[in-house]
Structure 1
């Protein structure tokens, strides 16, 4: 029976739909604590679907479902796209999303290793947690597990254990597509301006870049491979170093759009034209890529879709479902704009 049916729903109907006993459904209805989180979620969902009204005639207010979403950086267009996807999915599923920064004991470091954070979230009624691009320690992950707080990580910088559920993109194939595009334009001295060296996504993009060069019979020059932190300033610094080489690159694959914009600025300061003198490819396809001058050729990550998948995956974990895979990768694709062009005559450079 649905909420729109003319027949009044009973608690027995709700219990049957949720696959629990009538006493268990009554416990959830009355806010008792001796019910597992997964069972409570099933009963509350059935109460919502049936629009259950107690015998008093007053519709019972079902507690709002709340999950936490934390970022290590809320300023970037990347974070805003992820945020949009998660909050839209939350609105569709009736889940409130509380957004914040990752906490630290002294306000400066990454996530605190103590269990206090997980316990605080649990006592605040949070059902689960989504963490975006942060470093997680094994102690932190175990703290969430001990508190019974399901966790999903988007673009993790590290994977403290294989059981951590994560959502990302096809970084390896994206890196390969970027390098293959530059190779197809005749470039052979192709630099890699990477992000955090130990980050899983950065390593995958680097390996894809190297695979494309090797397939084309082009050796990887170690002087052309640098690492930063996915930010504009790092891109500017790496771009300056690369373009100061005795034999500078004719093209640069940057591991993020923000990094690519830093490379573009480094080229401008040296009086180089993009794409005539230097081709540049980014990674993400945020609004920065469209606003850049010239428009930035980049590897598109489906950031909003990654956010939606993360929220829906978290809800499945909360409901006690078994996932087919602990890691989900969404497809990337190359978006060609004005920052790349065929290799110019080197004699005229």
Structure 2
């Protein structure tokens, strides 16, 4: 005798045991009002008294009903979502993201993140955001070729953070790197340093501006300039430190391309038994949360992550809300923050 198959749900019915999601109709029935009135309440439109509004919200809360805002916005042709492309291992990018969220929320926008990483370049990260209907893209420290960024600016509203992209139809927000580097070199020169090396950021965002500013500041103080090729990574800092340790004479101070590079320098010098700042001074760039840690206590050039993030969001939203607004470049002032990795040069 064949096994009996228990009856299943009719086509389209909810499976047994699975609770049905409450709908706007359910809220209307519980509150004793029409569905149209419930819709007005959730769209924050006039037409419902305060007492009725509170009754509807209370009914929705008791039922566990949440309006599908994303679907409603898409139906109107808007997602009100900003896409953000970041690099996974950059602490300063994390600081920027912390500033992006509250400003976007204040202006009525959601945020989606997409990371670039080994095997996943910025173009893939951008396309993922656009496929999820992001209305604008904010790129944190983009490294893509200028031609790609220019093409992206023609396709959508885009903001480049920490990198200038001359001639491209996109916004940019960055710190005045020339000013920040000059502050660092002026400070070291005032301490008495005469042998100051710069470990640069290679092809990273802002690296060429910082390299050029370093050479200019050293000329101003009539000091010899020396640039060691690097990147915005701890490994690059450690490699530069090993190169310097192999030489007959160490510089008295080093300006790193960013805080991660400075962390690599500090690690390598500590392993070699050197005392920073007694034996040499180290300055970073960014003032990321990494530099605040007590075992680093890093002197660094501060980029105001919150102000940069807020400005990037505002510029993106301004162009989304008004098509006549042209892309803008915003340059913010940096500030040298003196901590425990700098001091007078050693006596030799």
- TM-score, normalization: structure 1? 0.73
Provide the residue aligned with 2:85 in structure 1: 70
**Residue 152 of structure 2 aligns with which residue?**
144
Alignment of 1:1-349 (within 5 A): 51-53=44-46, 63=73, 65-71=80-86, 73-102=87-116, 108=119, 110-112=121-123, 118=127, 121-122=129-130, 124-137=132-145, 140-141=148-149, 143-147=151-155, 149-156=156-163, 159=165, 161-196=167-202, 198-220=203-225, 224-293=226-295, 295-320=297-322, 326-346=328-348
Runs of 4+ in 1 over 4 A off after TM superposition: 57-62, 120-123, 321-325
Native 8 Å contact 1:176 1:205 kept in 2: no
Distance 1:204 1:188 in 2: 22
TM-aligned CA distance change 1:155 to 1:294, over 3 Å: closer
**Deviation per residue, 1:200-252 (Å, 9 max, x gap):** 511221222222211111122xxx31122211111111111123222221111
Q: Aligned residue pairs: how many?
A: 285
Q: Which moved more, 1:84-93 or 1:314-323?
A: 314-323
Matches of 2:257 and 2:150 in 1, distance apart? 31
Q: 2:166 & 2:120 partners in 1: Cα distance?
A: 18
Cα 1:132–1:214, aligned 2, differ >3 Å: closer, same or farther? same
1:327 shift after superposition = 1.6
Over the aligned positions, Cα root-mean-square deviation in angstroms equals 3.0
**Whole-angstrom distance in 2 between the partners of 1:205 and 1:133:** 14
TM-score, length-scaled by structure 2:
0.73
Residue 10 of structure 2 aligns with which residue?
none
| CA 252–125 in structure 1, closer or farther in 2 if over 3 Å, else same | same
Alpha-carbon separation, structure 2, partners of 1:321 and 1:241: 52
| SS at structure 2 position matched to 1:214 | helix
Superposed displacement of residue 112, structure 1:
3.4
Question: CA distance change for structure 1 residues 177 and 234 in 2, over 3 Å: closer, same or farther?
Answer: same
Counterpart Cα distance in 2 of 1:283 and 1:76: 12
Aligned equivalents of 1:53 and 1:306: distance in 2? Answer: 37
Q: Deviations over 1:77-135 (max 9, x none)?
A: 211110011111112111100011148xxx7152338xx965x6555332111111122
- The Cα shift of 1:274 comes to 0.7
